[in-house]
Amino acid sequence: MRQVTVDLEPGRCYVLIGENGAGKSTLLRILAGLLRPSFGTVKVFGSLEPQDARARIGYMSHAPMIYDELTAVENLRYFGSLYPDRPNLSPEAALRQVGLDPELARPLGQYSQGMRQRTSLARVLLPVPELLLLDEPFSNMDVESVSQMVEMLATFRQSNRTIVLTTHQREHAAPIADWVLALKAGRVASFEPGSPTL
């Protein structure tokens, strides 16, 4: 990333676009506290150390961090157990938030891509984060699944959560985009207001 300066407001959806290698995923990882900037500073929830705010951040990577041999509830139960001192939603409640039936007993390996993406989102929602960082949440999803994901994200944004997501398909995120940030070679090429309809 090079000379990126941006302020993110609560309750807004910021869409990062750009070609592969533009810096979209890197910026998300820096905001999540997974990478440190080599130059400049990043302040998240008023702290110069994003790690200090990690409990308030939900990060969904491009690679699904779920286990195919387990059911959705088993996956979420496992991930919730990794943070015993953090108040979490129940696996069932998190799955209902993303429109999945917690009684579904099939392993995730038998889920559609849209259902897998929603399970990944449910994992991110377990600790009720205030900042959602989503790397390519619409990847390999059909039109109906994309529409369902967008409606869910609109609901989360209306509850005053901030969303920052990357996508190669700007039109998918258009209904919830308050701002569109275009990156090119690690620099901000443009920062334009969106026109959210949801």
Query: What is the model's pLDDT at position 4?
Result: 67
Query: What is the model's pLDDT at position 53?
Result: 84
Residue 93 pLDDT greater than 90, yes or no? yes
Residue 40 pLDDT greater than 80, yes or no? no
Averaged pLDDT for residues 29-57: 83
Number of neighbouring beta carbons within 10 Å of residue 33: 18
Query: What is the model's pLDDT at position 3?
Result: 63
Tell me which DSSP letter residue 3 carries.
S
Q: What is the pTM of this model?
A: 0.90
Helix 72-81, helix 113-125: angle, nearest 10: 30
Q: Rounded to whole angstroms, how far apart are CA atoms 112 and 103?
A: 16
Calculate the alpha carbon distances from 89 to 2, 32, 73, 122 in Å.
37, 20, 12, 10
